[in-house]
Structures are given as structure tokens and as C-alpha cells.
A and B are shown apart, each in its own frame.
Chain A
Amino acid sequence: MKILGIESSAHVASAAVIEDEVLRAEFTINNGMTHSETLMPMLADMLRLSGTDKESLDAIAVSAGPGSFTGLRIGAATAKGLALGLDLPIISVSTLESLAFNLCNAEGAVVCPIMDARRGQVYRAAFQNGIRVLQDGAGSMDELIDWLNERLSGNGEVIFLGDGVPVYRKLISERLEGSYVFATAENCLQRAASTAQLGMWAYRRWLIENELTPEKVRSAGTEGIDCFDEHVMSPDDFVPVYIRKPQAQRELEAGLLEDPGMHSLKKLRGEKRDRRHDAGKT
């Protein structure tokens, strides 16, 4: 079974192919270039150089979120376009679970992936001995540290990883009561190989639960499958898992949008004109 993995949820663009339990290829770029320019050429090169025929793929695993909204959508639309053309299912993999999987051999310790979510928050989850102990979510680092302090009561170790580490290193050292370490640089990157491996396991579970085989899925085509779920999805239905709602929607729901017209106009124009007027007054 061959699974293509795609990861573009934050700074890293990454693509990988796993064939059964063997990682055939993984290309990863972490240079701040836009994913829209790098992801697709890199993915095509990765398949070509590894001698992987794209028609031989069984499914596409995507790092579905949380993460940068735009980054997630570039990965999602790339996966959806590939899956549409090749008629493949898409496997939705949690970005945080995929990140934690970089340290799946850390026995006993709480593995805590943290991604910088801006506005004073992190996207976070926690795993221990390969079992999830905290659901994916967005919240302040203080809340997460409180939760860890309560869970561990000063005993045990926490391993932090992800791009939230450099942002919250100081806060962790000041407030976390037990012992902790920060993962090394190569384990802090979101990697498509982890996404593909978790995707392959999710795909296998789904096949078994639904008494399917890769051959049956291929001959039925995605339109002939009626047992897709929230993990193994039709390429038409797959969307990123944003966790957060759009800002405008949150403001609307909170009743903060008194003059919705002006709001969106300002947003569209970047509030340039208003600022200029303000500057004139002062």
C-alpha cells in the first residue's frame, strides 16, 4: 500500500511517500518561501526521483490542521486536486498528532506539541505512551501549563516540540513545576513522513472496519464508496480542520459587528484611509 503525505500547515512544506512500512522518500523545505511556489514542484520531484508512479498511490494523507489558515488550504487544495484527478480518498490527519509522532518513542514522558497560534495563543495537544491525553485545541500557554502542573503534580517529564517552543521557552521555564525538555530542531518540524505514517494506519483501520481492501476501493472509485468518515474522506468533502472560526464570524456572533458594511470595507482596504485621517487630526 502506498500513501502520499502532504504537510504545509506552518513554515514547513513537506511531501513524502510511504510504501507499507517503508519511507520511500521525504522532501522537506523550511526556508520561509511560499508554499504555493514550492509544494507542488517539490511533490512532483519527490515522486519522480523516488520512482513512484502517481497512478500507483492508494490514498493521500494531509496534515489537516490546526495551523496557518492559508498554509492549510494550500495543502488541502493540492491534495483535493491530486485526489480528484487520480480518484483517491483523502486521509485527514491532525497536524498536532503528526508533530507528536516525531517523538513516538518517548516512553513515559508527556509529549506536548505546541504551535504558535498568534494573538497570545498556541495550538496544542498532549500524548503519553502513544495515547492522546489532551484534545487538539487553541488556548493560552498559561492554561496549558496549569493543566500540565495539575496532571503531573511535579512528577514526570514533559517534552515540548513545535514552533511554539522558541516563543514560550521563557514562560515554560518560569512556570512549569516538573522537569521538561525541548525537542531537538529536526524533531520540531512538521514532517510529511509522520503524516503519511499516521494516515496509513488510519486508512488500514478504516479498510478493516468496513471490510474493504485497497483493490476494492480502487475498483469502486471514490464515488462508489459510501462509508467515508471524518478520518478517511471523499476528496470532494475534505476541508482543513481550522479549530478557530474566521474573525469576522466570531465578531458577528459576539454582536460586535454594529456596522458590518464598514467593517468589511475597512478589512478589505487594510484601514489605510482611516489611519491617514487619524494622523491628520493629531
Chain B
Amino acid sequence: MKDDKEVIILGIESSCDETAASVVKDGREVLSNIISSQIDIHTVYGGVVPEIASRLHCENINGVIKLALREAGLGFDDLDAIAVTAGPGLVGALLIGVSEAKALAYAVNKPLIAVHHIEGHVAANYISHRELEPPYVCLIVSGGHTHLCIVKDYSDYEIIGRSMDDAAGEAYDKVARAVGLGYPGGPKIDMAAKEGDPHAIAFPIGEVRDRPYDFTFSGLKSAVLNHINKARMKGEEINVPDLAASFQEAVIRQLVDRTVACAEAHGIRQVAMAGGVSANTALRAALSEACEERGMKCYYPEPIYCTDNAAMIAAAGYHQFKEGRFADLSLNASPDLKLGMRIGG
């Protein structure tokens, strides 16, 4: 049984290839965090197959929700609300979580909260760092997103910069594929780079003219592919660790330098990171170092809360609960939802 003043939220996440459910108390304390990953199945295809992802979500979702409640030692009656990822993501995958959450909320008479997946990633920081409060600068890096924003308040984001082309995670996937490291690219390159020299190859650090906080990775990606092609034409062996480390260095310089520059320009002393790529060990080390040099505080979620999970959805949902922002039963999945866009009320 729970205390009357506590707010207990069940989070549900199904935007890509993880079916997840979690129970979180007061937006910060994780009572359970269940993730059913489909990655082994999609790896056979070299990437996430949307139809297969949707089928697996439908198969696993009830079991995952039940397990989350069981681990938390709570029942539906103990919940204050149900929060679900409404977008962005794969539409068929999102629809499973959204349909399930609407029906469940209706069945057990609980309010429904529609959460933006990326706001969920940002909120993962509140779980790992109880002391973190807005305002702070947040770098959001994942397979689908590269955003630099100022989190002014729990639900108030100002986007300062974004990628003009590929997301950082996408660039990782493409380079990993080109050198035969396979899928998923991020962890594979991160691992290979540990053995390599980050200054072995001078890849260009992409810049966007007159836009100091935006990112671009297409030029870097082309430079890496050109380097590989040239080496192959000359019959030279490619040093994969050196290439991975040098590519990663070029990505990190862009991300880290612009993030701390943004914080300095806006007089903000706290910097956070969110999204799948924030689990990258070299990126974490570089951002920590850059922040330390400038006397800024640096935050990033524990690795388990960097990848897609439902605890972060419940954590973000908590702040919407406090603001009374609920969704109704007509809630739809929003595959192209932009950051800062309000959904379902």
C-alpha cells in the first residue's frame, strides 16, 4: 500500500524495438523497470523491421506491464495515472502502447498521460540525479534525434540547435555498416574506438554557417566513406579501431563544444545529456571533462535509462500529472511529433 501524498505512475513505452513498463514514485524513484528487448530478432535483418517490432510489442505488452506491477509490489488501484509514449517513433509500434494504455486506463478508471519520447529521455536524468532541477542545457542524442535545448522548466523546452541532416546515432550506424561492424552501430564503434587513436585520421568537424549551435554529420559521413573507398582502391587494409576512434572524435568535438558553448552563452551552469547515444563512453568522458574545465555540473543518466525504457516515460509523466495535463481516449500515435509540441492536452 502506498502513502496518500505519493504520486505513483505506470509508464508504458513501445516506440521502437523495446517493449517496456515501469512504476515510478514522485517522478524520481523507480519501483520497477521492465524492458523486453527485441534486438536479437532485428539484428538478423540488420535493423529494426517495423512490422516485426509491432507484432512483438502486441505479444509481450501485457506480460511486461504485469511484471512491472508485480516487481513494484503494487496493483492497479495504487496507481495515480498511466503515462504512455505517444510519439515520435514507428507508428505501428507506438499504436500498441497507445491502444493498450487507453484501454487499460479506461478499464481501471485512471487518468491517461501522453508523453513525448524525447522529453522522456530528458526526464531520465531526474531518476539518476535526484538533485537536478531546471534550468539546464540538455544535449539530446539518439538514433533519430540530435537536439540542443535549454530546459527552462520541467515541461518548458527551448530548442537552440538541431542536426541539419543525419542524427548522430544514424551517422554511427552508417559508418559501422561501412566498416563491417554491424548493427547497432553506436556501441560497436564505441567499443572498437577504445583500441584506436582518435587523432590517426583528421576527419572534418562539421559546421553550419551562421548557426553556431546546429549540427551536421553528412559531410563527416562522406569523408569516412571516401577514406574507406580510397583505401580499398589502393588495396590498403583499413585500421578499424583508428577509423572508429577518429570518426568518434569528430562527432564528439561537434557535440561537446557546441553544448558547452551554448551553456556559457546563456549563463547556465548545469549541462545534461539524454538519449541512446548518451550511453557512449567516449562522449560521456569528453562532456564531463569539458564541463569540469569550466566549473559546470555535468549530468547523464545511468546506461539502463539511456536506452529506451518506460521509467523515463513515467518520470516525464509525473510533471504533466502535476500540471494537470491529461489525454483523452481519442489519443493517437504521433510518429513525427516535434520536440516541444503538446499532445493529448
Query: Taking beta carbons and an 8 Å cutoff, which residues of A are in contact with B?
Result: 34, 36-41, 44, 54, 69-70, 73-74, 76-82, 84-86, 235-236, 239-240, 242, 246-249, 252, 257, 259-265, 267-268
Contacts and interface: CB of A to CB of B under 8 A. Distances in A.
Given A246-B49, A249-B52, A260-B45, A239 B99 contact: no
B96 interface: yes
Interface residues of B, number: 44
A71 to B, nearest CB: 10
Nearest to A85: B107
Interface stretch (B128-136, B156-164, B243-251, B327-335): B327-335
Interface string B52-69: 101100110111011000
Contacts of A239: 55, 58-59
Contacts of B331: 36-37
A140 to B, nearest CB: 22
20 contacts: A40-B102, A40-B106, A41-B328, A54-B106, A73-B96, A77-B95, A77-B99, A78-B102, A80-B58, A80-B100, A81-B103, A84-B107, A85-B76, A235-B62, A236-B62, A239-B55, A246-B49, A261-B177, A265-B46, A268-B48
Nearest to A41: B329
A54 B104 CA distance: 12
B78 to A, nearest CB: 14
A70 B50 CA distance: 11
Given A70-B92, A260-B45, 18 more contacts: A36-B95, A36-B98, A37-B332, A69-B51, A69-B54, A74-B99, A77-B99, A77-B100, A78-B102, A84-B100, A84-B107, A242-B55, A260-B46, A261-B46, A263-B46, A264-B47, A265-B46, A268-B47
B341 interface: no
Interface on chain B toward A: helix, strand, loop, or mixed SS?
helix
Given A81-B99, A84-B107, A85-B76, A246 B62 contact: no
B335 to A, nearest CB: 12
A246 B42 CA distance: 12
Contact of B108 (A34, A37, A85, A265): A85
Contact of A264 (B48, B63, B99): B48
Nearest to B47: A264
Nearest to A268: B47
A44 B329 contact: yes
Interface of B: 42, 44-52, 54-55, 58-59, 61-63, 65-66, 76, 91-92, 95-104, 106-108, 177, 182-183, 328-333
B100 A81 contact: yes
Contacts of B107: 54, 81-82, 84-86
A257 to B, nearest CB: 7
A265 B100 contact: no
B103 A246 contact: no
B174 to A, nearest CB: 8
Contacts of A246: 49, 51-52, 55
